[in-house]
Structures are given as C-alpha cells and as structure tokens.
Amino acid sequence: MARSGDTLPFSRYMALALYAPGLGYYSGSARKFGAAGDFVTAPELSSLFSECLARQCAQVLAAIPGGSILEAGAGSGRMASDILTELARLDCTPKQYFILEVSGGLRDQQEETLRERVPQLVERVTWLQGLPDPGFKGVVLANELLDAMPVHRLRVEAKGIREYHVGCEAGRFVWRLRPVGEPGLEDAAARLRDSLDEPLAPGYVIELGLAQPAWVASMGERMRAGAMLIIDYGFPRRELYHPQRAQGTLMCHYRHRAHADPLILTGLQDITAHVDFTALAEAGLSAGLALSGYTSQAFFLLGNGLSEALERRGAGVRPDYLAETSAVKRLTLPGEMGELFKVMALTRGVSEPLQGFSLQDRRGRL
C-alpha cells in the first residue's frame, strides 16, 4: 500500500492488523484481557465459567479413555489454569493439556499464568506449533477464537457484489470498493445468498468468514474421538444475515470501549466479527463429526452446574460473594453475555447426550 491507489482486501488488512509479527494487536505484549486490558472475556470474568466448562470436559473424558484437552487461542492462560484446577478437584486431570496459540507474546503470558496458578500441573501443558496430527482424542476448546479470525467484507450492489478493500489517503486508512478478487469468494457469497430466505438488499454489507469453517473442518478431520466445543458470539446464518444487520457485525475493542471502525487504532485495538454457526455446523458435518448440541452460553453453563458451583463457594459467607453473583449475571443474563454467546458441540464417537445441552438444545434453528 506504499503507492497511493494501492489497496488490500479487508480480510488481509484484518489479518495484518491482528497478527502481523511485531505489529499486530495479538503479536504485541500489551495486556489485552481483563480490567487492565481492552475487553473482558468470560474466563477472565469469573473462574465459574471455566469450572462449568471443565465439568463438560470431564463428561467427555470419561467417555473417551486416555483423551486429552486441546485449547485453541488460550488468551491469558486463565481458562487453562481454572479448567485444570477443577479437573484435579474432580480427580480426572487429563495426562496432557495442549495449547494452540498463534501469538508468541500470549504463549509467554500463558506459561507465566500457569506456572503461577497451577505449578503442580504445568508439566502436563504442551504448546503446539500447528494443528495436531490426525488421531487426536479428547476435547477441543475454542472460546472466542473464531471471532478473532479475519473475514471478507462484501457489499451487495444492484448488479452483483463488490469487495471492501482498505487504501491509504493522506496518512489515514480509507475504505475502497473493488471487484471481488479471491477465487471462490464470489461463489461462496452466491451460495450464501441462495441459502437465505430473503434476498439481501443493495447496500447490505456481508461479512463472510472462510477461515472459520475451514479451521473447524481441519480440526474435525484430525479428531479420532471426542468433542469440539465452540463458544463465541454469533447466530445461525438466517439470523446473522438478517435485514436488521445490514451494516455487518464488525466490532472493535480498545480500553473497554466498543465501536465499529476497524480503520483506526490499527494494531492497537481488537477487531472481531460475529460467527455464522450454521457454517460451522456444516463444516463439522463435512469432516464427519456429529452436531451434538447448540445452545446459549447461559443454558450451557446452567446445564453444567453453574448454580451449584456458586453455592459451593458458600453463599453470603465469603466477602467476594457479591462480585461472584454479579459475574454470574454477566455470564448468563440475555442483555449481557448469556444470549449473544452460543455454544456448539461437534463430536465423534460420543454417544451420550452432553450435559451442557440438557436444559435447552437449539440445533433445530441452525
């Protein structure tokens, strides 16, 4: 983009803004998660989240003897340490806990967190350089992983579609519309539009993630037995590409302020897009996995004993009980994370119904 007039497809810009070595948001060493960072994820809010997830892992691990856990995109390492703590309490710690993480800075932070919080279990943790070899058995966890993968941004026009690119003008990044470049993207957009009940009106902005279903399919093909649990914000396809979301779902986070302009604070802010859960289910099925559950985060956590976990901590006795009940509200209330965040389970060789989907299962809506 050195010359004026040069542009990059938005998906490439997003990939560089988040992951360019040394410059991308996730490559830097600044704190990202929690009160001192830019945004709060569920495992940072309260360890109750990871305790519930651990109980779902325990059920799968009981069905898959010798299984491990593989967490992709492990953030600060907090979820890994809380899951290991709860599994140890339940006396079913897996021999190995793998972490797949693209950011070198976060890998260091994860190791530090684990050494500090679970020194007795850190030897079980191994960082992978890439997807596991085929034959993986156990649980794959992806919390807010897929919303951090790049998306293509397209605009519906009276005749066909064009792709949003990013250019540079007077030292600032600006939007540019260009013919669709990448082979296959136009076909993917056409398939998407054909699958919707209502046509998308001219001006509609489509965010199309090709990397997300591709990741689910590649991971699924490597799973010999077990469950992949995907937790993220998003919707089934029909709801995601609803006329009400005509401007897309891009969201940026910088120091606890959320806004929709990815062209500012490049490399300093997080950029995310909602996930198309129908596309993820299709990708899992194409890899031979079974769709074993889809529900909201609230129902998933309650199905995995959230209320009991809170009670176990001793209602009214501990001084931080109030903070914990307020975290539970944020994790479960529909206006907070409870409804926007969904959980999907894709499994192979697990016949038992998963407890996280026992209270409500919305597979029919996909």
Ligand X SMILES: C[S@@+](CC[C@H](N)C(=O)[O-])C[C@H]1O[C@@H](n2cnc3c(N)ncnc32)[C@H](O)[C@@H]1O
Listed ranges 55-63, 71-79, 242-250, 347-355: which one lies at the site for ligand X (CB under 6 A): 71-79
Rounded-to-integer distance, Cα 182 and Cα 185, Å:
6
Q: Which residues pair with 207 in a beta bridge?
A: 153
228 contributes a contact to ligand X by CB under 6 A: no
Nearer to ligand X, 132 or 181 (CB): 132
Nearer to ligand X, 99 or 306 (CB): 99
* Cβ contact 113:82 at 8 Å: no
Listed ranges 73-81, 181-189, 289-297, 342-350: which one lies at the site for ligand X (CB under 6 A): 73-81
Of residues 151 through 190, those in contact with ligand X by CB under 6 A are none
100 contributes a contact to ligand X by CB under 6 A: yes
Q: From edge to edge, which strands make up the β-sheet containing 251-254? A: 257-259, 251-254, 270-272
82 contributes a contact to ligand X by CB under 6 A: no
99 contributes a contact to ligand X by CB under 6 A: no
Q: Which listed residue (106, 228, 279, 331) binds ligand X by CB under 6 A?
A: 106
Rounded-to-integer distance, Cα 316 and Cα 45, Å:
20
Q: How many chain residues bind ligand X (CB under 6 A)?
A: 20
Which is nearest to 226 in space by CA: 358, 132, 102, 129? 132
**Contact letters (x/-) for ligand X, 318-347, by CB under 6 A?**
------------------------------
The structure tokens listed for 58 are: 């325990």
Nearer to ligand X, 42 or 200 (CB): 42
77 contributes a contact to ligand X by CB under 6 A: no
CB of 44 to ligand X, least distance (A): 6
CB of 132 to ligand X, least distance (A): 12
Nearer to ligand X, 116 or 187 (CB): 116
Rounded-to-integer distance, Cα 337 and Cα 49, Å:
12
Rounded-to-integer distance, Cα 110 and Cα 43, Å:
13
101 contributes a contact to ligand X by CB under 6 A: yes
Nearer to ligand X, 145 or 161 (CB): 145
- Burial class from Cβ neighbours inside 10 Å (0-12, 13-18, 19+) for residue 235 reads buried
Between the two ends of the chain, the Cα-to-Cα distance in Å is: 40
Of residues 118 through 157, those in contact with ligand X by CB under 6 A are 143-145, 148-149
Closest residue to ligand X using C-beta atoms: 73
Spatial CB neighbours of 325, under 8 Å, sequence gap ≥ 6: 310
Other CB atoms within a 10 A radius of the CB of residue 195 amount to 13
- Burial class from Cβ neighbours inside 10 Å (0-12, 13-18, 19+) for residue 21 reads exposed
Listed ranges 81-89, 97-105, 183-191, 242-250: which one lies at the site for ligand X (CB under 6 A): 97-105
Measured CA to CA in angstroms, residue 28 lies from 75, 106, 109, 237, 299 at distances of: 13, 8, 11, 33, 35
The structure tokens listed for 8 are: 């990059």
Nearer to ligand X, 108 or 352 (CB): 108
In degrees and rounded to multiples of 5, residue 317 shows phi and psi of: -90, -45
232 contributes a contact to ligand X by CB under 6 A: no
Nearer to ligand X, 146 or 154 (CB): 146
Rounded-to-integer distance, Cα 275 and Cα 236, Å:
8
Assign 305 to helix, strand or coil: coil
Of residues 4 through 43, those in contact with ligand X by CB under 6 A are 26, 33, 41, 43
Of residues 39 through 58, those in contact with ligand X by CB under 6 A are 41, 43-44
Q: Which listed residue (85, 103, 113, 266) binds ligand X by CB under 6 A?
A: 103
Assign 129 to helix, strand or coil: coil
CB of 149 to ligand X, least distance (A): 6
Query: Residues in the site for ligand X, rule: CB under 6 A?
Result: 26, 33, 41, 43-44, 72-75, 79, 100-103, 106, 143-145, 148-149
